[in-house]
Amino acid sequence: MEQIPGILIVEDEPITALDIKGILEQSGYRVAGIAETGERALEIVRTEPPDLILMDIILGGTMNGIELATAIKERHRIPIIYITSLSDASTFARTLSTDPYGYITKPLDTTMLTHMIDLALYKQRIAATLHESEARFRAIIDQLPLAVSLYTPDGVLTDVNTAWETIWGLDPQEQIGRFNIRNHEPVISRGLQNYIDEAFRGESVIIPEMTVERPPDRPGGAPRPMILRCRAFPILEKGGAIQSIVFLHEDITERKQAEEQALYYSMFDNLTGLPNREVFATRLHTEIMKSKRRGNEYIFGVMCLGTDRFKNINEMHGPVTGDKLLKEIAKRLKTTFRADDLVARLEGDKFIVLLSDIKTADDISSIVRKTEDAFRAPLTAAGIELTVSMTIGVCLYPNDGDKAEALIKNSEAALYMAKQRGTGTYHLYDHTMHEQTIHNLRLEKDLVVAIDNQEFRAFYQPKVNREGAIVGMESLIRWQSPARGLVPPLHFIPLAEKNGLIKDIGYIIMYESCRQTKEWQTMGLPPLKVAVNLSSFQFRQPCLIDKIKEILSVTGLDPQWLEFEITESGIMENEKESIGKLNEINALGVSISIDDFGTGYSSLSKLKSLPIDTIKIDKSFVDDLPHDATSVNIATTIIDLAHNLGFKVVAEGVETKEQIDFLLYLGCDQFQGYYYSKPLPSDEFRKKLSTA
Contact by Cβ (8 Å): 679, 460 = yes
Considering beta carbons, is residue 341 or 596 the nearer one to ligand C2E? 596
Give whole-number Cα distances, 568 to 72, 239, 642, in Å.
111, 87, 14
Q: Which residues contact 128 (CB under 8 A, 6 or more apart)?
A: 77
Judged by beta carbon, residue 541 or residue 567, the one nearer Ca ion is 567
- Residue closer to ligand C2E by CB (options 314, 677) is 677
User: Closest CB to ligand C2E among 506 and 598?
Assistant: 506
CB of 652 to Ca ion, least distance (A): 5
Binding partner of 493, given Ca ion, ligand C2E, none, CB within 5-8 angstroms per partner class? ligand C2E
Q: Which residue is nearest to Ca ion (CB)?
A: 565
Angle subtended by helix axes 431-452 and 361-374, to nearest 10: 60
* CA 393/CA 417 separation, integer angstroms: 8
Q: Which helix (H) or strand (E) holds 447?
A: helix 431-452
In the complex, which residues of this chain contact ligand C2E (CB under 6 A)? 461, 476-477, 488-490, 493, 506, 509, 533, 535, 565, 595-596, 619, 652-655, 672-674, 679
One-character DSSP codes across 179-237:
-BGGG-TTT--HHHHHHHHHHHTT--EEEEEEEEEEPPSSTTPPPEEEEEEEEEEEEEP
In the bound state with ligand C2E, the residue whose beta carbon lies nearer, of 328 and 596, is 596
Beta carbon of residue 595, minimum distance to Ca ion (angstroms, whole number): 4
CB 457 to ligand C2E: min, Å: 10
Q: Are strands 670-672 and 648-652 parallel, antiparallel or unpaired?
A: parallel
Q: Which does 56 bind (CB under 5 to 8 A by kind): Ca ion, ligand C2E, none?
A: none
Least distance in angstroms from the C-beta of 466 to ligand C2E: 18
Nearest one of 426, 283, 416 to 364, comparing CA atoms: 426
**Which residue lies nearer to ligand C2E by CB, 251 or 596?**
596
Of 88-96, 362-370, 564-572, 580-588, the window that binds Ca ion (rule: CB under 5 A) is 564-572
Partner that binds at residue 490, options ligand C2E, Ca ion, none, CB closer than 5 to 8 Å by kind: ligand C2E
Residue 117's CB: how many other CB atoms inside 10 A?
Answer: 24
Please report how close the Cβ of residue 365 comes to ligand C2E at its closest, in angstroms: 21
Of the candidates 475, 470, 471, the one whose C-alpha atom is nearest the C-alpha of residue 458 is 475
CB 355 within 8 A of CB 367: yes
- Please choose which of Ca ion, ligand C2E, none residue 357 contacts, taking the beta carbon within 5 to 8 angstroms, the exact cut-off set by kind: none
* Residue 674 binds: one of ligand C2E, Ca ion, none (C-beta under 5 to 8 A by kind): ligand C2E
| Minimum gap (Å) between residue 438 Cβ and ligand C2E | 23
Burial group, residue 683, by CB count within 10 angstroms (0-12, 13-18, 19+): exposed
Q: How far apart are CA 621 and CA 623, in angstroms?
A: 6
Give whichever of 39 and 623 is closer to ligand C2E, judged by the CB atom.
Answer: 623
- Smallest separation, CB 670 to Ca ion (Å): 13
589 binds, among Ca ion, ligand C2E, none (CB under 5 to 8 A by kind): none
Instruction: Give the dihedral of Cα atoms 492, 493, 496, 502; nearest 10 deg.
Output: 140
- Nearest approach in angstroms of CB 408 to ligand C2E is 41
Instruction: Work out whether 568 is an interface residue with Ca ion (CB under 5 A).
Output: no
Nearer of residues 314 and 567 to ligand C2E, judged by Cβ = 567
Element (H, E) at 21: helix 14-26
Distances (CA, A) of 486 to 126, 480, 483, 508, 685: 115, 5, 9, 17, 17
Contact 300, 291 (CB under 8 A): yes
Cβ 476 to ligand C2E, closest distance in Å?
Answer: 4
Name which position in 11, 565, 568, 669 contacts Ca ion (CB under 5 A). 565
Rounded to a whole number of angstroms, the minimum distance from the CB of residue 638 to ligand C2E is 15
CB of 589 to Ca ion, least distance (A): 20
Contact 196, 215 (CB under 8 A): no
Identify the CA nearest to 230 among candidates 197, 260, 201, 196.
196
DSSP 599-637: SSS--HHHHTTS---EEEE-HHHHHTTTT-HHHHHHHHH
Residue 430 or 595: the one with the smaller Cβ distance to ligand C2E is 595
Taking residue 646's Cβ as centre, other Cβ atoms within 10 Å add up to 9
Asked whether 617 and 637 are in contact (CB, 8 A), the reply is no
Q: Which does 304 bind (CB under 5 to 8 A by kind): Ca ion, ligand C2E, none?
A: none
Among positions 589-648, residues that touch Ca ion (CB under 5 A) are: 595-596
Among Ca ion, ligand C2E, none, partner that 488 touches (CB below 5 to 8 angstroms by kind): ligand C2E
Tell me the closest approach of the beta carbon of residue 274 to ligand C2E, in angstroms.
42
The DSSP letter of residue 57 is S
Task: Please state the closest distance from residue 641 (CB atom) to ligand C2E, in A.
Answer: 21
Looking at the Cβ atoms of 276 and 614, the one nearer to ligand C2E is 614
Segment interacting with Ca ion, rule: CB under 5 A, options 69-77, 527-535, 642-650, 654-662: 527-535
- Minimum CB distance to ligand C2E, residue 486 (Å): 11
The listed partner (ligand C2E, Ca ion, none) that binds 137, CB under 5 to 8 Å by sort, is: none
Using the minimum distance from each CB to Ca ion, give the nearer residue, 512 or 565.
Answer: 565
| Near Ca ion by CB under 5 A: residue from 425, 475, 533, 593 | 533
Give the one entry of ligand C2E, Ca ion, none that residue 476 binds, where binding means its C-beta sits below a cut-off of 5 to 8 angstroms depending on kind: ligand C2E
User: Per CB under 5 A, which of residues 317..346 are in contact with Ca ion?
Assistant: none
Q: How would you class 136 by CB atoms within 10 Å of its CB: exposed for 0-12, middle for 13-18, buried for 19 or more?
A: exposed
Select from 17-25, 68-76, 78-86, 530-538 the region that touches Ca ion (CB under 5 A).
Answer: 530-538
| Residue 369 vs 619, nearer CB to ligand C2E | 619
Whole-angstrom Cα distance, residue 479 to residue 488?
7
Cα 32–34–35 angle (5° rounding)? 125
State the nearest-atom distance from the C-beta of 477 to ligand C2E, in Å.
Answer: 4
- Tell the smallest beta-carbon distance from residue 359 to ligand C2E (Å): 20
Residue closer to Ca ion (CB basis): 15 or 490: 490
648's contact among Ca ion, ligand C2E, none, with CB below 5 to 8 A by partner kind, is none
Q: What is the longest distance spanned by two Cα atoms in the chain?
A: 165
Out of Ca ion, ligand C2E, none, which partner does residue 301 contact, by CB within 5 to 8 A per kind?
A: none
d(CA 194, CA 190): 6
- Report, in this order, helix, strand and coil percent for the chain, each rounded to 5: 50, 25, 30
Closer Cβ to Ca ion, 265 or 674, answer by number: 674
Which DSSP string corresponds to 449-484?
Answer: HHHHTT-EEEEEEEEEETTS-EEEEEEEEEEEETTT
Q: Give bridge partners of residue 181 from the DSSP assignment.
A: none
Window 171-210: contact mask with Ca ion (x via CB under 5 A): ----------------------------------------
Residue numbers at the binding site for Ca ion (CB under 5 A):
533, 565, 595-596
